[in-house]
Structure 1
Amino acid sequence: MKTTGNTILITGGTSGIGRALAEALHDRTNTVIVTGRRQALLDEITAARPRMVGLPLDLDDPASLARLVALVSERFPTLNVLVANAGISRTEDMTAPGWDGTNAEAIVATNILGVLHVTAAFLPLLKQRKNATIMATSSALAFVPRADFPTYCASKAFLHSWLTSLRHQLRTIPIEVLELSPPYVQTELTGAQQASDPRAMALNEYVVQVMDLLDRGDHFRGELLLERDKPRRWAERDGSFDSVFAALNPG
């Protein structure tokens, strides 16, 4: 993926990694469209960067996605990069009385079905472009899970497998398929405390490293993975899965 001269749409672009990535790409002279559910945040982002475009999108509403596709096709027909970043994370205690899978269903709807639906919706437009890219946000937890976030980790493992197949199927079109696999980063994904957790990687530092990987084309098998996360990525292969899992899940 080239990092300049693109027209880029980023879902979940109003906060966290999505917003930071949108701002970094915007500063590289790309046309960047961010989407999200909260109009106030879209207004805030576009006020700070007037050339950035904010458009509403509720991935739980098929009509909302259809409106977005129609609008983008009309106003931004040169769209060549889709970043499917929207995602949610919640803890789940499956031993608790009354556990019913409600949170799991919400995570699957956003993290899995949301990515599938937005990709399907924009794929016809991307097929018409040269230098097209689809990037989806997975997680380093796709490879060794945190047991207190079971469905979140499983949703990212699903994306890793699905993106591998998508990459293979699109190899002759061609559309580049990239997987962004962040570590624990200072965002509000799991709540306000994560944004200031000293154990988490600073958001700006993470995005700087991602942009460096993109600049250098350093994404083996399409995976944008920091050096610090490679032991977790290859834990199963290297025979260290049990020790890495135990470190993530004490007790």
Structure 2
Amino acid sequence: MKTAGNTILITGGGSGIGRELAARFHALGNTVIVAGRRKEALEQTIAGREGMHAITLDMENPQAIAACARQLLADHPSLNVLINNAGILRREDLTRPRDLHDAEKTIVTNLLGPIRLTNALIDHLAHQPDAAVVNVTSGLAFVPLSWAPTYCASKAALHSYTLSLREQLKGKVEVIELAPPGVQTELEPGQSGREGFMTLDEFIEEAMALFSEKPTPAEILVRQVRPLRWAERDDNFDQAIEALNAL
């Protein structure tokens, strides 16, 4: 993936990993558009940065995604990189019947949202030079955390979808998977101070170094996530799931 001279859309750009990716790619000389629900948070991301733009987007609403795609292509016809970063995590108790609102919202946001947005932009991207789609999954796609079952399932599904997308777009659009470990963001309340998680700065530094490699790895895997990614291959899955769920 070319790291400069792109026009990049980053969903979930109002906070956490999305905000930091936006700042780093902008600093490398890219035009960056951040998208998300909260206009105020997006404006904080772009404040003082010429060549960075914001657009509100509800990833749960297919009509809003289609309308956003049309506006994006009208305003930024050079768009050539999509980073599907927006996502939510909810704790769930599977031991009793419950309202499935959180589970359904998670699937729609984390899986259907990226599928719908990629679908809305793919014809355009396929005709752009140096085009790329980056899907942000998680180390939990490979070793699940029991109290976040739908989140883990949604990221596992997005990983699988990314593999198929890469195969179908071979030679047209580069498809990259970014799989973070636990990072100190507010994905879940209190997570930004959780011991044992990577600091956001540490994660971004290592991830951006991997993005700059030539060729760019098909999977951006910082060191801390590799034990999860390769647990099954290394015949360490049972130990990994036990250790993860003991935290």
TM-score, scaled relative to structure 2: 0.96
Give percent identity, aligned residues only: 46
The one of 222, 230, 236 aligned to 2:232: 236
Shift of 1:89: 0.2
- In 2, the alpha carbon distance for the partners of 1:218 and 1:154 equals 30
Shift of 1:218: 6.5
- Residue correspondence of structure 1 range 162-173 to structure 2 within 5 A: 162-172=161-171
Aligned to 2:232, the other structure's residue is in SS state helix
* Paired position in structure 1 for 2:154: 155
- Residue correspondence of structure 1 range 80-229 to structure 2 within 5 A: 80-96=80-96, 98-172=97-171, 174-191=172-189, 193-217=190-214, 220=217, 222-229=218-225
- In 2, the alpha carbon distance for the partners of 1:139 and 1:55 equals 25
The question of whether the paired residues in 1 share the 8 Å contact of 2:60 and 2:105 is answered with: no
Shift of 1:219: 5.2
- Residue correspondence of structure 1 range 24-43 to structure 2 within 5 A: 24-43=24-43
- In 2, the alpha carbon distance for the partners of 1:199 and 1:136 equals 24
Shift of 1:136: 0.8
* Paired position in structure 1 for 2:21: 21
Aligned to 1:99, the other structure's residue is in SS state coil
Between 114-123 and 59-68, the greater mean CA deviation after superposition: 59-68
Unaligned runs of 5+ in 2: none
- In 2, the alpha carbon distance for the partners of 1:196 and 1:250 equals 18
Shift of 1:156: 0.6
The one of 225, 244, 248 aligned to 2:244: 248
- In 2, the alpha carbon distance for the partners of 1:199 and 1:55 equals 34
Counterpart code for 1:74: A
- In 1, the alpha carbon distance for the partners of 2:214 and 2:102 equals 37
The question of whether the paired residues in 2 share the 8 Å contact of 1:87 and 1:111 is answered with: yes
- In 2, the alpha carbon distance for the partners of 1:91 and 1:110 equals 15
* Paired position in structure 1 for 2:59: 59
RMSD across aligned C-alpha pairs, in angstroms? 1.4
Between 63-72 and 233-242, the greater mean CA deviation after superposition: 63-72
The question of whether the paired residues in 2 share the 8 Å contact of 1:219 and 1:225 is answered with: no
Shift of 1:29: 0.8
**1:4-23: per-residue Cα shift (whole Å, max 9, x none)?**
00000011111110010000
Shift of 1:234: 1.3
The question of whether the paired residues in 1 share the 8 Å contact of 2:69 and 2:117 is answered with: no
Shift of 1:196: 1.7
Shift of 1:195: 1.0
Shift of 1:67: 2.4
Count of aligned positions: 247
Shift of 1:124: 1.2
TM-score, scaled relative to structure 1: 0.94
Shift of 1:66: 2.4
- In 1, the alpha carbon distance for the partners of 2:203 and 2:246 equals 26
Counterpart code for 2:176: L
- In 2, the alpha carbon distance for the partners of 1:198 and 1:146 equals 16
- In 1, the alpha carbon distance for the partners of 2:77 and 2:28 equals 20
